[in-house]
Chains A and B, each alone.
Chain A
Amino acid sequence: MTRPVLLPALLLAGIAVAGGGAGVWSSAWAQSNGGARALAPGVKVEVAPAPGSGSAPAAGKVDETALRYYARIGDGERLEAEIARLRALDPSWEPPKDLFAPQPTTAGVDESPFWTLLSAGKVAEARAAIAEQRRKSPSWQPSDKLLQELDLAESAGRIRSASDTKRWQEVVDAAAAQPEAVACNRLDNAWRLAEAYAELKQADRAFDTYKTIVTTCPKAKERRDTIFKASRYLKPEQLRELSALGATSNPATGEDYSSVRTAEAELETGRLLERLGNAKPGALSAADLSRVQGIVRDKQDADGAIALGWYFQKQKNYAEAQSWFSQANGWAPSDKAAEGLVLAYNGLGEKAQARAAAEPWKGKSSRIDQVLKAVDPPRGPSTPGGGRSAPQGPSELDRALARHDFAGCIAIIRSSIERSGPTAALLQQRGWCLLELKRPSEAEAAFVEAQALAAREPAPKPAKGGASATGKGSDRNPAASGPPQTPTREQENVYGQAIARLTTGDVTGLTRDLPRANLTPTQKAEIRASLMATEAGRALEDKRYHDVLRLLDARREIEPEPRNLGILRGWALYNLMRYDEAYAQFKSIDDRLSTEDSREGVSTAWKTIYHDW
């Protein structure tokens, strides 16, 4: 279609091919785009021998390196000058026909810039730079190694993003396409693959994936973490198998796998402790129980010991309960441990011991003051037992409360009201029990009703030891500075309503009403602390991490930080990129009692610090 034309003339004039139909975008155009300047586009460059010349020039006669270089970069002016120079050297020389064809002369492209980008995590930038290089040097190919590493980095990224957005099948597909992306050195991705299988209900494959990890990845810590990860999806017997395999398979020299062997037991302890809290008596097998006891003892875990104490207390095994509460109190004295201890001694009939156990907290902890009523029941008509005065011992209701039997509490109050009508005290107690049963709306209604009734009742004598609030939330301890003011029944009702509103999430309304509410300073402080905790949780959700810390710091002035808020603090620190502090925070919580929450914090912070994703 195109006519042979002389190259120099074309380059100089850049004119279109005369006649002969349409000019066609030519290969010269595309290739010349490799350089900063375009050759005359719109023309078909075909280098033909000059008129009168013979066959193709003998190779090697002249050095065409520069010529080819100018052709490649598309520098027409210099190319033309070089042709003139070479012609001057050798009048019989003709420009080579393949001047614009890809030449294998660029094989020696330096790959280091691409590796630099890749190692900086700039995978897309590395891809872009390679594509640009390949456009300029079509004969060049990146090394297989470089391509593999790029594929790997991309697959890993793809697995992460698919898993973050819960596209589980894509996780599986991406891992299948690039198995190296889920190898031991990318453990997080291997976990994501197992999780994807589990979410896709392919339990066997999930188990197999975890199994591969714990039998092939050499580090004990990784095997152990894998078992913790797997605990969300696998059955206890599968976890036991993983633990056993991980402790023995393909051991690497210098690694101690004992922590792998115990991982499953620790997990189970965590689970059992949780179950202990709400377990019906006898729900745990003897083997389970002895495992929990062994680990709680090993770790000197006070929270675990308290849980065990309650477990036995509910079974009326007061001796065993007393021993665990004592342990807990010995490891870390607290009113919670003392509360259990008082009730356990009381159950054993050792009232003096019970009183002695309560002594350090008397007047300082409403929890203790309440529980003492089971030891020395108050007398008089205002007893929470309602119409049924029980001077000789704790009332049926007191006993239910001491057992933490809140459903029983509701039932007893109902029958009591049916028998002899409602009292403000009964309704109030009903509120507390409903709160414990996580029925806050009904609880709030009960407190309102109690308040209304109290206004019609004759003013009660200030009850010794305070009004009934036995069932109050288990984490609310007044930080008493100075003698605590005993709340009136009115205040108790207002307080109960406030707690109920907190539970239903009415933070705004409560914050607004709190300054005017008729509450004792201790009660107000407690509510404020709870409000701040809720606000801190919201701040974390809104990513206002500085606010989280500010709220938690202020809250810590009122009362000690419980575990869940400690975790919250850890995430705020983490998100503020204060990774070392976050790690220390999670670690200290995890050391006390390792749960999924604390482990996740520790492991995430650790990986971030050490780039171990």
Chain B
Amino acid sequence: MTSPAGTSRRDMLTGAASLGLAAFGLTAFGLTAALPGTVRAAPYDGNAWRRYAERFLLPEGRIVDTGNKGISHSEGQGYGMLLAVAGGDRAAFDRLWGWTQRVLMVRGDGLVAWRWTPDGGVADRNNASDGDMLIAWALLRAAETWQAEAYRTAAIAIVKALASGLLVEQGGLTVVLPGRDGFRKGDTLVLNPSYWIFPAIRAFAALPGGERWGKLSDSGLVLLSKARFGGFQLPPDWMTLDASGTVGIAEGFKKQYGYDAVRVPLYLALDGYRDPYYFRPFSTLAAKYGGKAVPATVSLPGGTTTQVAASVGMLAVYRLACQLAGAGGEAVTVPPLAPDEDYYSTTLAHLSALAAQSLGIAP
């Protein structure tokens, strides 16, 4: 089975993210005193986009995953396109979309090959549904922002390909398979809770004939209520759904909550959800660690935590989750993005800022 975005690539996040170094950095460079001023997340704006593009967008139009040997993937392209729209940079958006079409859309079924390496080009032709969804959603937003029908047409083609190949019904729920190939083990499906990009799904549901996407959204909330494991009641990065609608923690993957599932509260917030119930598992985890050295992963259901601390971007997500869970944003300390902050952390930080802005809980 090919592994889609997220299975292993983030496990190599090290360096500044580790507990020891983070603590060392703060004290050694006298940054502790600056913390009170940084409790508020930096707003996302045109300047933020420009800095992001300088760091992660190469001239040919691909976003580099700096935490992962400089590879590129459909998820990164999707995030880049979204941030470019929100940053009002159409030229950059076109470069991103052009590279994505040219290099990654080589499958012939309208979906996007998920992984590309500088040495070998397309390294995995399987798609990663979250990458496809992010790209299609960014295209829809671009179409609306810049009144360009071509983006919309392209988006609809991807959405249709996703609907016909990746949306399936199981146990009375409509779910999205993480990729075209693999992810079915007998009667049981392997799913990724963080592939429910709620605002994207809602945008797809609003398209003509988008009813199944509406069901996908409803099912996502049901699954997130069912997929709660361990002391913190966190969702796993990878879960199973059997024919009777029972969820479990997927075998063959790391049995944990971590780099993938941290996006669950982010996507809920981005879609305007504010029910504290859905944010409490994440705020409880953050609160347990005083909102600082939150572990990056938690084994499920056991609850063993890693020595690696959550990155700045993950902390930004926790801050958001705490605000929505009613625990208060001050419960989490989010340091400023480091000059060498990696792609994933930076992306999460910006998306968190956008979510807070759209919910009206940040300027």
Query: Interface of A with B (CB < 8 Å)?
Result: 1, 14-16, 21-27, 29-31, 33-34, 36-38, 40-43, 101, 123-125, 127-128, 130-132, 134-135, 138, 150, 158, 162, 165, 167, 170, 173
- Of B85, B221, B359, B360, the residue contacting A42 (CB under 8 A) is B85
In the complex, which residue of chain B has the Cβ closest to the Cβ of A37?
Answer: B206
Q: Which B residues touch A165, using CB under 8 A?
A: 301
- Whether B358 pairs with A30 at a CB distance below 8 angstroms is yes
Judge whether B199 and A131 touch: CB under 8 Å.
no
B231 at the interface (CB under 8 A from A): yes
B271 with A128: CB separation less than 8 A:
no
Q: How far is the CA of A306 from the CA of B348 in the complex (A)?
A: 75
Q: Are B144 and A128 in contact (CB under 8 A)?
A: no
Q: Which of A1, A30, A37, A132 has the most CB of B within 10 A?
A: A30
Contact of A128 with B147 in the complex, beta carbons under 8 Å: no
State in angstroms the CA–CA spacing of A173 and B206 once bound together. Answer: 43
B272, A135: Cβ atoms under 8 Å? yes
Whether B87 is near chain A, meaning CB under 8 Å from some CB there, is: yes
| Further contacts, 4 of them, CB under 8 A, given A22-B49, A38-B144, A135-B273 | A24-B43, A27-B357, A30-B358, A127-B275
Q: Quick one: closest A residue to B146, CB to CB?
A: A16
With a cutoff of 8 Å between Cβ atoms, the chain A residues found around residue B221 in the complex are 127-128, 131-132
Interface residue SS majority, chain B:
helix
Could you tell me which residues of chain B, from 57 to 90, have a CB within 8 Å of some CB in chain A? 85-89
Residues of B within 8 A of A22 (CB): 45-46, 49, 86-89
B149 within 8 A of A: no
Flag if B275 contacts A134 (CB, 8 Å). yes
**CB distance A125 to B271 under 8 Å?**
no
Q: Are A135 and B274 in contact (CB under 8 A)?
A: yes
A131 CB contact (under 8 Å) in B43, B89, B203, B273: B273
A24 to B87, CA, bound (A): 7
User: In the complex the two chains form, what is the Cα distance from A224 to B203 in whole Å?
Assistant: 58
The interface residues of chain A lying within 8 Å CB-to-CB of B271 are 30, 33, 135
Q: Does B218 contact A (CB under 8 A)?
A: yes
Q: CA of A135 to CA of B273 in the docked complex: distance in angstroms?
A: 5
Interface size on B, residues (CB 8 A): 43
B203 x A38 contact (CB < 8 A): yes
**In the complex, how many angstroms separate the beta carbon of B78 from the nearest chain A beta carbon?**
16
Is B88 touching A23 in the complex (CB atoms < 8 A)? yes
Interface string of B191-215 (1 = CB under 8 A from A): 0000000010011001000000000
**B277 sits at the interface (CB 8 A):** yes
Asked whether any CB of chain A lies closer than 8 Å to the CB of B107, the reply is no
Residues of A within 8 A of B318 (CB): none
Q: Which B residues touch A14, using CB under 8 A? A: 144, 147
Q: Within 8 Å of chain A (Cβ to Cβ): is B6?
A: no
Q: Is the CB of B231 within 8 A of A33?
A: no
Across-interface contacts of A23 in B (CB, < 8 A) = 86, 88, 145
User: A residues within 8 A CB of B230?
Assistant: 170
Residues of the B chain whose Cβ atoms lie less than 8 Å from the Cβ of A27: 357-360
Q: Is the CB of B272 within 8 A of A33?
A: yes
Taking the closest CB of chain B, its distance from the CB of A195, in whole angstroms, is 18
Q: Closest CB-CB distance, A427 to chain B, in whole Å?
A: 52
A128→B225 contact, CB < 8 A: yes
CB of B226 within 8 Å of the partner chain: yes
- Quick one: which of B342-361 are within 8 Å of A by CB? 354, 357-360
Q: Which residues of A contact B203 (CB under 8 A)?
A: 38
